[in-house]
């Protein structure tokens, strides 16, 4: 056996191994592409199917559906404004409460807390994220709502009652309760993601600030939070996405009244809640069409919010991206 023959047989083995691998590559690429395409197909099919089912409502109300507030199944007059309003306001309220809380907890866990205490607290935070939403709803009805009715709302009405936000009779259930429940539900998400973002900030950044004579808080502010800004916005938007689509807990505490009311004490209704509450009663094509159109609207609102979020992340993330190149 000469070396030439040996090298020939070796090279032919390499070639055939390459050919085998090429085949595997093609299969893998085909599977991955198929998976991606099937997702796009699925979403398209969903939109087409829903648009088809919503057609009676499109025909009957046109654009009026978006800005009228009458929701009368008996007269078959439908307008979605109270639901859009309820979804946006309850989610916004949730963000106002949850962002400072969630970011604060994340800063504590990533920057300030003694090392030994971090894992148990992180675990607890993740545990809250795992509680089913119906449990939050139950707690909302039996604990949160009476507490709001008996203590918080009278106090708010007495102190801040000059604002239209805090006027009217204290029902307990209503927009405020929904916002608070949603806030509690999204805090763990905001905390968990923000914590990861903060931990990913390189230590050299902290040292740069400390070396200049920054205090702990100043270091967090100028080196850590600014560096992680785009990731933190992402964390908040993840929370917002969840708040917009949350159904069960909100349905149980928001009061389910299709009205646009400025006061946070008043009952409201959200898009997800009305779909969950009324789909069994929707016997006519028009009623069902109106509910499905609300579903499409909810989908559109989520897409718009996510698109805005992306733009925001890009616009603030520009500076950081340049470094990493």
| From 14-22, 48-56, 220-228, 261-269, span contacting another protein (CB under 8 A) | 220-228
**Between 81-107 and 229-245, two packed helices, what is the crossing angle to 10 degrees?**
140
Tell whether the torsion through CA atoms of 244, 246, 251 and 253 is positive or negative.
negative
- Applying CB under 8 A, which of residues 50, 305, 313, 320 lies at the interface with another protein? 320
Pattern 223-262, another protein, x by CB under 8 A = x--xx-x---------------------------------
43, 206, 311 from 47: Cα distances, Å:
6, 48, 24
Is 253 within 8 Å of 137 (Cβ atoms)? Answer: yes
Is 94 within 8 Å of 182 (Cβ atoms)? Answer: yes
Residue nearer to another protein on the CB measure, 5 or 115: 115
Count residues contacting another protein (CB under 8 A)? 25
Pattern 89-128, another protein, x by CB under 8 A = -------------------------xx-------------
- Residue 207 near another protein by CB under 8 A: yes
Residue nearer to another protein on the CB measure, 126 or 207: 207
User: How far is it, in rounded angstroms, from Cα 41 to Cα 43?
Assistant: 6
Q: Smallest distance, Å, CB 315 to another protein?
A: 12
Is 215 within 8 Å of 265 (Cβ atoms)? Answer: no
Q: Smallest distance, Å, CB 202 to another protein?
A: 8
Is 83 within 8 Å of 269 (Cβ atoms)? Answer: yes
Residue nearer to another protein on the CB measure, 205 or 306: 205
According to DSSP, the residues that pair with 72 across neighbouring strands are: 77
Residues that bind another protein in the complex, under the rule CB under 8 A: 114-115, 202, 204-215, 218, 222-223, 226-227, 229, 319-320, 322-323
């Amino acid at each position: 056996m000469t070396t030439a023959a040996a090298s020939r047989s070796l090279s032919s083995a390499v070639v055939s191994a390459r050919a085998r691998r090429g085949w595997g590559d093609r299969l893998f690429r085909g599977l991955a592409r198929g998976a991606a395409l099937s997702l796009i197909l699925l979403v398209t099919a969903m939109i087409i199917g829903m648009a088809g089912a919503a057609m009676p409502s499109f025909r009957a109300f046109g654009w009026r559906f978006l800005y009228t507030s009458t929701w009368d199944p008996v007269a078959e007059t439908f307008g979605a404004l109270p639901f859009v309003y309820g979804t946006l306001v309850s989610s916004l309220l949730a963000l106002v409460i949850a962002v400072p809380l969630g970011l604060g907890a994340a800063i504590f866990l990533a920057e300030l807390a003694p090392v030994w205490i971090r894992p148990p607290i992180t675990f607890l935070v993740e545990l809250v994220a795992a509680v089913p939403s119906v449990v939050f709803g139950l707690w909302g009805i039996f604990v949160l709502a009476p507490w709001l009715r008996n203590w918080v709302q009278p106090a708010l009405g007495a102190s801040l009652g000059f604002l239209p936000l805090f006027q009217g009779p204290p029902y307990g259930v209503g927009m405020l309760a929904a916002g608070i429940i949603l806030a509690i539900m999204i805090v763990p998400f905001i905390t968990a993601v923000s914590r990861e973002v903060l931990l990913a900030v390189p230590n050299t950044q902290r040292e740069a600030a400390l070396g200049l004579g920054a205090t702990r808080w100043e270091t967090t502010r100028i080196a850590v939070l600014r560096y992680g800004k785009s990731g933190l916005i992402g964390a908040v938007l993840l929370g917002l996405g969840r708040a917009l689509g949350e159904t069960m807990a909100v349905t149980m505490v928001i009061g389910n009244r299709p009205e646009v009311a400025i006061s946070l004490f008043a009952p409201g209704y959200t898009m997800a809640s009305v779909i969950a509450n009324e789909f069994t009663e929707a016997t006519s094509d028009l009623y069902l069409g109106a509910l499905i159109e609300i579903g499409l609207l909810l989908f559109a609102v989520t897409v718009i919010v996510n698109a805005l979020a992306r733009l925001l992340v890009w616009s603030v993330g520009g500076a950081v991206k340049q470094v990493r190149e």
